[in-house]
Amino acid sequence: MRDRLTLSMRASHLLALVFVAAALALAAIGAASGDTFYLRLGTEALIFAGLALSVDLLLGYSGALSLGQALYFGIGAYVSALTLLKVPSFWLAMAAAGGATLVASIFGGLIANRVRGVYFALITFGLAQVVAKVVYNTRELGASDGMIGIPVIDIGFGPVSVSAGNPVGFFLIVLAIIMGLYGLTAYLLDTPFGRVLTALKANEKRVPFLGYSVWRARMFSYVLAGLIAGLSGALYPMLRGFVSPELMFFATSGNAVISVILGGVGTLIGAIYGSVLLVLLKSIIGSWTEHHLIVIGLIFMVCVMFLPKGLVGFIRPRIEERLLTGAKEPAAPSFAPARLEAGSAKP
């Protein structure tokens, strides 16, 4: 039996397919023209899309705005960098980064999930600030300079191996990982347990009466989001060969929030589109003015106020309609877990 949530997820998946097709086309054009820069920029946009995805999982599904998600992105990046400096193994670095962010997000979740709403935003903001400050002052982690000299690794898949320095190869690997994370998240949200998360956003007070633990559901989504951010962050030093404390700063978290708002809250795929859109906006605006914050800030405000479901939220209902008429079902208003309005105004 298909319900509205399944329907809107299907629409998201369709957009995800379009995205992958477009990305593959870019890879083909890039490979044919011998381009390096745009492929690597696209790879970076995908890595930050992973961070945005984790912000959307929290904001769009359990209604929790994280202003410090870069914390886990940064932990993933640093642990991956430290591992690669010792052993240049892709799988080991990913495992270490995943493990570290898992532990860190459990700790963070125990603190942050004691509170709701705006207090959650302030706590996540503060947590990231404090850890970033500690990293900024720790000599063993390169302090304010960060760490350079992370080798260009070979990523082995059984008999085949791809160099992280190969623009097309690494782009495709990152694309596969980020879309894999997207798929995994979408799958988990579609399980009965994932439905509890969506219910949280709609009406948190009622969830316990249905026999579910609110805390456990929130904790689960927090840790999953931390893990997604950490695994995305682990890819960063492989691409750029260094890490710096700026990766944990508010600017990074803020960009992820902006990406999610631009792309569409609660759509998952919107976070990925939004991230690419933001990179594109920044490079276009950045080339004609250094005052890009004014333009991005204005676009952001307009999105929050007049387009609360973002780009994908604008497009998706049209796709849903098509899907519905295709299946000859009666037209129903689209289900929108994306709504910012959900949740209670007062803590």
Beta carbon of residue 235, minimum distance to another protein (angstroms, whole number): 13
Query: Interface with another protein includes 342 (CB under 8 A)?
Result: yes
Residue 26 binds another protein (CB under 8 A): yes
| CB 285, min distance to another protein, A | 10
Q: Which two tokens stand for residue 16?
A: 């995800």
Q: Is 14 in the site for another protein (CB under 8 A)?
A: no
Among 286, 314, 318, 325, binds another protein (CB under 8 A): 286
Nearest approach in angstroms of CB 93 to another protein is 18
Residue 119 vs 157, nearer CB to another protein = 119
What whole-number distance in Å separates Cα of residue 258 and Cα of residue 301? 10
Range in contact with another protein (rule: CB under 8 A) among 23-31, 85-93, 168-176, 323-331? 23-31
Q: List the interface residues with another protein, window 107-166 (CB under 8 A).
A: 111, 114-115, 117-119, 121-123, 125-127, 129-130, 133-134, 136-137, 139, 142-146, 148-149, 152, 165
**Nearest approach, Cβ of residue 328 and another protein (Å):** 27
Residue from 218, 240, 309, 316 that binds another protein (CB under 8 A)? 240
From residue 14, alpha-carbon distances to 7, 52, 79, 267, 312 in Å are 11, 19, 35, 12, 11
The runs of H, that is alpha helices, within the chain are: 4-33, 37-56, 70-86, 90-112, 117-136, 167-190, 192-202, 214-240, 250-263, 269-288, 292-306, 310-326
Residue 25 as a binder of another protein (CB under 8 A): the answer is yes
The answer to whether the CB of 223 falls within 8 A of the CB of 58 is no
- Nearest-approach distance from CB 104 to another protein, in angstroms: 16
Residues in a beta bridge with 195: none
| CB 234 to another protein: min, Å | 15
Question: Where in 55-114 is the site for another protein (CB under 8 A)?
Answer: 59, 63, 65, 111, 114
Number of residues that bind another protein (CB under 8 A): 89
- Name which position in 46, 257, 271, 338 contacts another protein (CB under 8 A): 257
Q: Which is nearer to another protein, 103 or 152 (CB)?
A: 152
The residue from 54, 80, 244, 267 that contacts another protein (CB under 8 A) is 244
Identify the H or E element spanning 35: none
Q: Which of 5, 13, 35, 102 binds another protein (CB under 8 A)?
A: 35
Give the separation between CA 262 and CA 267, rounded to whole angstroms. Answer: 11
Q: What is the DSSP letter of 243?
A: B
Residue type, 190: D
What's the CA gap between 73 and 229, in Å, rounded? 5
| Closest of 2, 62, 312, 1 to residue 188, by C-alpha | 62
Sites for another protein among residues 219-238 (CB under 8 A) = none
Q: For residue 223, which of 58, 77, 86 has the smallest C-alpha distance?
A: 58
Do the beta carbons of residue 105 and residue 227 sit within 8 Å?
yes
Bridge partners of 162, per DSSP, are 155
Give the whole-angstrom CA distance, residue 334 versus residue 28: 36
